[in-house]
Amino acid sequence: MRIVGGTLKGKKIFYLESTTTRPLRDLVKESIFNVINHSNLIEVAIDNSNILDLYSGIGSFGIECLSRNAKNVTFIENNKETLRLLNKNIENLSLLNKSKIFNNTVEKFLDNSPVNKFDIFFFDPPFKDSKYIGEIKRIKDMKLYNKKNLVILHRDKKSVETFEDVFSSVFIKQYGRSKIIFGTFA
């Protein structure tokens, strides 16, 4: 696994080979950033943004954002083994000064009432998880977003959840088994 763009392009990221985790594939990651950079439907740029990377795993999305000049990334991960690799990646790539890592569930992170507002939200919950919709709604209710914002959700292409009362879907892209939903909090 590697960083696909920005100042750290080509650098390797440590990842966990496991049946319980599924790192964001390089092709999918690169496609997400192409959409962010080139779609006239997206009003937020990575450059100088505050990013909230939920269910961050080894941090591949957030690290990619930092490589592309994001202001900072807040990582939320509660799996101990994955968290160890996330910390190792952040340290190895000298990104400590632009990263905040929380060893928590998303729910517990939100219970601690974060005060920052974010520009970009990346949700990558386990495909079998369904409680994440309530967590997205809670972020909306807490108004943790700036006026111009972007919600990116990684799901299995067969998933059929609806989000109308949570965020406005801008468009959906499919890559193999992955479905990427782009939207905004209104």
Is 98 strand, coil or helix?
helix
Q: Which residue has the higher pLDDT, 117 or 20?
A: 117
Q: Which tens digit of pLDDT belongs to each residue from 4-33?
A: 999 999 999 998 876 555 567 788 889 999
**What confidence score (pLDDT) does residue 176 get?**
86
Q: Tokens 């000298």 identify what position?
A: 94
> pTM of the entire structure?
0.93
> Given this model, what pLDDT does residue 163 score?
78
Sheet holding 168-175, edge to edge: 99-103, 72-77, 50-54, 118-123, 145-156, 178-184, 168-175
Which domains can be identified in the chain, with CATH numbers? 26-184 (3.40.50.150)
The token duo for 164 is 């109308």
Compute the distance between CA of residue 57 and CA of residue 125 in angstroms, rounded to an integer. Answer: 9
CA distance 61 to 25: 10
Q: Per the structure block, which two tokens stand in for 183?
A: 């939207």
pLDDT tens readout for residues 119-153: 999 999 987 777 888 999 999 999 999 999 999 99
State the chain's mean pLDDT as an integer: 91
Q: Pinpoint the alpha helices (H) of 39-175.
A: 60-67, 80-92, 106-111, 132-141
